[in-house]
Amino acid sequence: MTRRLFLALLLLFSANAWALTTAQLTTLAADINAQASLASARANKDATLCILFYNATASPAWTVWKTNVSVTEVGRAFNGAELAGLTTGNQTRLQTIAQYSAAGINPSLADQRAFFDDVFSGAGGTNTRAKLLILWKRLATAGEKLFSTGTGSDASPATLVFEGPIRDVDVQQAMGW
């Protein structure tokens, strides 16, 4: 009995963990109503068509900063010769950030990107900076694009306000179905 209660509470809390805010639901409803390609979904109250649309990669492409990159992925982006050429101070800085970033690096934060640009500054870090810049970015889904801020270009990625899939419950709540 206790186990079932625990599982029920876990499901309840995990179901709400991704819940959109009231303002986001209003924005989602307005966008669903504005999308000509979702006319049949609106007419048939078909949340599945909506979630397929919003969970597909945004078209045209919309580039965003990633919010979490593992320390391992970051390390793999380092150019070996450039890493070997770092000063002792910069090597220490990298070790420190690795120790305090077990959960990963958040490149959506400008200071996180600036840290690595500074460590690999100058001609001796050109390749690593270029590889890290590629690693820091990804394409957003249409739903993530809807809630992001910025230009969304490769040169100037947008910042995610909401990350993850749009769920059928989100569509149903937004549309009142």
Do 129 and 154 belong together in one domain?
A: no
Do 150 and 126 belong together in one domain?
A: no
Tell me the residue length of the chain.
177
Tell me if 14 is assigned to some domain.
no
**91-147: pLDDT as tens digits:** 999 999 999 999 999 999 999 999 999 999 988 899 999 999 999 999 999 999 999
Tell me if 171 is assigned to some domain.
yes
Tell me if 150 is assigned to some domain.
yes
Encoded tokens for 124: 């001796």
* pTM, two decimal places: 0.85
Count of CB atoms within 10 A of residue 104's CB? Answer: 15
Per the CB < 8 A criterion, the answer to whether 83 and 128 are in contact is yes
The confidence band for 16, taking pLDDT boundaries of 50, 70 and 90, is very low
**Over residues 30-34, mean pLDDT:** 98
Domain extent at residue 116:
69-136
Domains contained in the chain, number: 2
Do 58 and 75 belong together in one domain?
A: no
Do 73 and 119 belong together in one domain?
A: yes
**49-79: pLDDT as tens digits:** 999 999 999 999 999 999 999 999 999 999 9
Tell me if 8 is assigned to some domain.
no
The answer to whether residue 7 scores a pLDDT higher than 70 is no
Residues ≥6 apart with Cβ < 8 Å to 102: 71
Supply the pLDDT for residue 96.
96
What would the DSSP string read from start to end of 42-101? HHHT-HHHHHHHHTSBPSS--EEE-S-B-HHHHHHHS-HHHHHTS-HHHHHHHHHHHHH-
The answer to whether residue 2 scores a pLDDT higher than 70 is no
Supply the pLDDT for residue 109.
97
